[in-house]
Amino acid sequence: MIKFYKNLPNDISDDFELVDLFELFLKDLFEYRFPSFYKRPSDEEFSNFKKDYENEEGAIWVYYPWLRKVFKILNESDYFEVLTSRNKPYVSHEEQRNFYEFNVGIVGMSVGQSSALTIARGGGSKNIKIADPDIISPSNLNRLHLGISSVGKSKVSEVKKSMLEINPFLNIKEYTEGFTNGNSDDFFTKDFKIDVVIDACDDFMAKLEIRKLASKYQVPVIMATDLGDGSLIDIERYDIDPNLQPFGGRHKMLKDPGSFLNAAIAIISPENIPTTLMDRFFQIGKTAPTHPQLANSVFLSGALVSYLIRCLANKRDIVDERVLINFDELFDPEHKQENFEKIRKEKIAAFKNLLGME
């Protein structure tokens, strides 16, 4: 897709723009390696640094065909040093390297694309697999880090381009047909074995297959579910216990696996659905065509997923349970009233009754 050159390329079409970013990257590299000069540049010191760097032939050219641009930047190790420089010292050099070397698979490109792009910006997962069969529809623009020029194109291919514009050295494997019975084993093992899988898809049977193979290959599963203005995170540590019950056994309550909404509610469980979403649930299919998905919760979910992957990569202890972050609970005064919990329990009971779950 993209091409790297040691010298200015002459094997591409004349219809491209040359963008020399070398000195800007080099200045950031200089300030990172010599912190005393941060925002107080020394022309003489930088000039010597630049001369030594050029003598070492540290610059490269990278061609992005979809942009019709060739950029002059730093080599891979120095580019990565600049990309991650503002993560330090909060993220140590060793922690950053572990994050970069932790292989990730992502199924579904809504919450999944937010996760992928946040991982890339954070200097994580050089090797990454992304799967989704869909194209980008105009209504997807409410929550995707993409613009109008991406509408009608493959979600996976457009997300891959965005990731490569953050870090051109990433090794991204596309599954434009999605995660299927025909490629599921390959998704876990071909080219490189994934160390974690992100379940961000809507297909219940695909979710079950993800967990079946996660158990087989002893890979943890992180599922991020956007809920109104919040996010529900499920962490299933098949790397620790390959005999875990998928979804904590909640899927066994499911009467109609072919219904996305029924499957989603069974897996999420009504106790975790925000009351504001419950109040509006039965408008789906009437005043709204499908379940709501907001940028707030999609972006939040992506940040949470990226954080958890960095934790796993560095073998930090993390909870093996569900975590719900609900903005309404944090900021809405109504949710802080003494009788709110009683009201919420009543709404949950009524919601279950309407769904025939009681």
The parent domain of residue 7 ranges over 3-83
Residues 6+ apart with CB under 8 A from 313: 95, 98, 99, 101, 102, 124, 195
Write the CATH number for 262.
3.40.50.720
244 DSSP 8-state letter: P
User: Are 218 and 238 found together in one domain?
Assistant: yes
pLDDT of residue 76: 94
User: Are 47 and 168 found together in one domain?
Assistant: no
d(CA 241, CA 224): 20
Q: What is the pLDDT of residues 261-281, one digit of tens each?
A: 677 777 888 788 887 777 777
| Residue 355: inside a domain | no
User: Are 55 and 129 found together in one domain?
Assistant: no
251 vs 118: which has the higher pLDDT: 118
User: Are 295 and 175 found together in one domain?
Assistant: yes
User: Are 49 and 74 found together in one domain?
Assistant: yes
Q: Which class for 47: exposed (0-12), middle (13-18), buried (19 or more C-beta within 10 A)?
A: exposed
Model pTM? 0.92
Residue at a domain's end among 45, 62, 83? 83
User: Are 131 and 70 found together in one domain?
Assistant: no
Q: What is the pLDDT of residues 308-350, one digit of tens each?
A: 999 999 999 988 778 999 888 889 888 888 888 888 888 888 7
d(CA 291, CA 243): 32
Nearest to 357 by CA among 236, 263, 240, 237: 263
Quickly state the pLDDT bin for 213 (edges 50, 70, 90). Answer: very high
- Residue 39: how many CB atoms within 10 A of its CB? 5
- Residue 13: how many CB atoms within 10 A of its CB? 7
d(CA 85, CA 59): 18
User: Are 283 and 176 found together in one domain?
Assistant: yes
pLDDT of residue 259: 65
Q: Which class for 138: exposed (0-12), middle (13-18), buried (19 or more C-beta within 10 A)?
A: exposed
In the chain, the percentage of residues whose pLDDT exceeds 90 is: 62
pLDDT of residue 263: 75
User: Are 36 and 118 found together in one domain?
Assistant: no
Number of domains in the chain: 2
| Residue 201: inside a domain | yes
326 vs 258: which has the higher pLDDT: 326
Q: What is the pLDDT of residues 32-75, one digit of tens each?
A: 999 888 877 678 888 888 888 877 677 899 999 999 999 999 99
3-state DSSP assignment of residue 226: strand
Mean pLDDT computed over 150-177 = 98
pLDDT of residue 236: 95
Residue at a domain's end among 83, 101, 118? 83
